[in-house]
Amino acid sequence: MPKQNNNKFKACFPHMGNYHVAFKSIAKLLDCEIITPPPISKKTIELGCKYSPEFVCIPFKYNLGNYIEALEKGANVIVQAGGGCRFGFYGEVQKEILKSLGYKFEFFKLNNSFNPFVIAKEFQKFNRRATIPFLLRGFALAFCQALAIEKIEDYVRKNIGFEKKEGEMEKLFNSFLMELDKINNFTQIYKTYNKFKINFHKIKTKKPKKPIRVGLVGELYVVMEPFSNFEIEKKLGKKGVEIHRFTTVSNIITSFLFSRKHVKRLMSDAKPYLKYHIGGHGLESVANAHKLARQGFDGLIHVKPFGCMPEINAMTALHRISQDYQFPIVYFSFDSLTSESGVATRLEAFYDMLIMKRKKYAKNQRIHGGGHRLHFHQSRSH
């Protein structure tokens, strides 16, 4: 049992996209020093691969790499969240691996169960003042930070390809993250968010009336961690594509809290391609793909770590959707490869195809008056 001297503890957490700001707020609830692991780099994944079972999926390796790098920096408490697939059990394995490597640390896992008393008890091991209201405030704060990041990220995803002066948005986004990192109350988050929202809207863009719209679905870690997917969003976005993504941390949390309602809605979206939950985020992928196909999106990108069971399940349904709606879907599997050229080639071809398709429909529309819509209704009757 850890002693109550809290200054001794130094907590760390794994990286995922830009969420380190929000994760930090949760780790702070342990009332100890926070050690942010260095940003994910090749070294992270090398470390992760070296000590992981070969056939485990890539998020495991990234997380393990993060932990090792943080432990080297002096951390002695690891905070990890649960997950819907086998990711939920990764913590135990990682704990054993790190212990056998000789590191001394406490492993703090946020369970999948949302029983506030259990969670509070866990926290109280580290922080005596961790009452339920205290924790609630902390979680809500982290949630708001995540939400603010997501809202801004969403705007960036949809507009980065159309900015008049390249690079402005990235610069502003970085300063947004820096500022958000420093604050710790609700009003300040709200104020910062609003300030930056206005600033982002001030950046001049040259967006066409009907830009090419592409959805991004798949396994949550690879979707949300740009390093692991070779910055697929940014690369495609910069070509002049509006990218829509639904998997976000706030989304995952709300879907946990209102799970029944959430699943029901997804089920109705996924009909008739799925009749039951297929694990992980597979149902989400299929439901969102079907929704986007019906909304007349130009295409879809599906990403997964190599060997991800739920997403492999989803792919079969996605093939059907692609056929029925003439909806192009491109699939990517990621592992510890560092060569980007394969991904770049496929992305470029995907983009070329969408452009060619657009041109064709523009022609059809002039001749028949609305070729695209017509096509879409025809396929709907399947």
Stretch that binds another protein, among 28-36, 39-47, 153-161, 214-222 (CB under 8 A): 39-47
User: Least distance in Å: CB of 331 to another protein?
Assistant: 7
User: Least distance in Å: CB of 145 to another protein?
Assistant: 25
Q: Which of residues 43-72 bind another protein (CB under 8 A)?
A: 43-44
Stretch that binds another protein, among 10-18, 124-132, 244-252, 339-347 (CB under 8 A): 339-347
Please select the residue that binds another protein; options are 356, 362, 368, 378, rule is CB under 8 A: 356
Cα 96 versus chain centre, distance = 27
Residue with tokens 């050229």: 341
Q: Closer CB to another protein, residue 13 or residue 350? A: 350
For residue 266, count CB atoms less than 10 angstroms from its CB and return exposed for 0-12, middle for 13-18, buried for 19 or more: buried
Torsion angle defined by CA atoms of residues 122, 126, 129 and 135, in that order, rounded to the nearest 10 degrees: -50
* 38 touching another protein, by CB under 8 A: yes
Rounded to 5°, the CA angle 63-139-26 comes to 40
* 187 touching another protein, by CB under 8 A: no
User: Least distance in Å: CB of 178 to another protein?
Assistant: 17
* 362 touching another protein, by CB under 8 A: no
Give the whole-angstrom CA distance, residue 109 versus residue 281. 21
* 306 touching another protein, by CB under 8 A: yes
* 261 touching another protein, by CB under 8 A: no
Task: Choose among 243, 251, 170: nearest CA to 212.
Answer: 243
* 335 touching another protein, by CB under 8 A: yes
User: Least distance in Å: CB of 353 to another protein?
Assistant: 5
* 323 touching another protein, by CB under 8 A: yes
State yes or no: cis peptide before 328, omega within 30 of 0.
no
Q: Are 186 and 139 in contact (CB under 8 A)?
A: no
Please select the residue that binds another protein; options are 136, 140, 178, 349, rule is CB under 8 A: 349
Q: Closer CB to another protein, residue 42 or residue 207? A: 42
User: Least distance in Å: CB of 38 to another protein?
Assistant: 6
Q: Which of residues 216-235 bind another protein (CB under 8 A)?
A: 231
Please select the residue that binds another protein; options are 104, 341, 367, 377, rule is CB under 8 A: 341
User: Least distance in Å: CB of 44 to another protein?
Assistant: 8
Q: Closer CB to another protein, residue 257 or residue 337? A: 337
Residue type, 233: E
Q: Are 108 and 11 in contact (CB under 8 A)?
A: yes
Q: Closer CB to another protein, residue 67 or residue 332? A: 332
Give the whole-angstrom CA distance, residue 256 versus residue 131. 22
Q: Give the residues lining the site for another protein (CB under 8 A).
A: 38-39, 41-44, 231, 306, 319-320, 322-323, 326, 328, 330-333, 335, 337, 341, 345-346, 348-350, 352-353, 356-357, 359-360
